[in-house]
Amino acid sequence: MANLRIENLTKKFDDHVVLSDINFNIGQGEFFSIVGPSGCGKTTLLRIIAGLEFPDSGKIIINGKDITSLPPQKRRIGIVFQNYALFPNMSVYDNIAYGLRIQKTDKTVLDSKINSVLEIVSLTHKIHNSVTSLSGGEQQRVSLARVIVTEPELILFDEPLSNLDYALRIETRNELKRLQRDVGITSVYVTHDQTEALALSDRVAVLNKGVVQQTGSPDDVYYCL
């Protein structure tokens, strides 16, 4: 589990300031959401934490180590994308195994890890199914399992429920909350949905026009919205 600290982070694209002097801390095992309207800078912030973009100034510190200039593969950060980013021609097993195979994990260890993570996400019975045969909620769990199995210190969620219909979104939201608690990995969750952020989070940051306007517990934020 990771402690994440963002210090004085600023990012511009040409003359447009996307993020301005962002500061916050996230504790180990915490579920922290960043909520705000489209275009407020939240996805850019997530990409900077992941190492897919670099800030113009400021620092990203994990467990006391400045990782601002590290490439993504050296950050031990997992990302759950909005579109799941699964390989449609692969089975559930092969999708989850992908990252471990890149790490050249021994086959026995690989099998053990995959079986364990499938139990966590309640998909053991789907291990050999094609991911295209799964429901949207099941695909979301495979996407999460593929991240968890590589044992990251931090998981980033980029609006992972936005492609689901309302009923499935509520069901998957509750499941996601349970899984995060069971696994205990520090999580940063980006969404434009205030209800979703308040339901899932230990704390919430409200981002608007590139500025953090408020950080607090769901109750604190709810009564100020």
Nearest to 221 by CA among 14, 23, 32: 32
DSSP H stretches of helix in the chain:
42-50, 92-102, 107-120, 136-148, 166-183, 194-200, 218-222
Burial 6-16 (b: 16+ CB within 10 A, else e): bbebebeeeee
Per-residue pLDDT reduced to its tens digit, 130-142: 999 998 888 988 9
pLDDT of residue 87: 92
| Residue 170: both structure tokens together | 């509520």
Per-residue pLDDT reduced to its tens digit, 24-36: 999 999 999 999 9
Domains and CATH numbers, the chain: 1-76+153-225 (3.40.50.300), 85-151 (no CATH)
Nearest to 34 by CA among 218, 188, 182, 195: 188
Contacts of 148 (CB under 8 A, 6+ apart): 78, 117, 120, 121, 155, 183, 185
pLDDT of residue 48: 97
A 10 A CB-CB count for 104 gives: 7
pLDDT, averaged in runs of 10, over the chain (225 residues): 92 94 95 92 95 96 95 91 87 93 90 92 93 89 90 91 81 82 90 89 94 91 72
Q: Could you give the CA distance from residue 71 to residue 53 in angstroms, rounded to a whole number?
A: 10
Q: Could you give the CA distance from residue 157 to residue 65 in angstroms, rounded to a whole number?
A: 22
pTM: 0.90
Q: Could you give the CA distance from residue 85 to residue 66 in angstroms, rounded to a whole number?
A: 29
Nearest to 144 by CA among 185, 192, 105: 185
The residues facing 66 across adjacent strands are 61
pLDDT of residue 225: 62
pLDDT of residue 172: 81
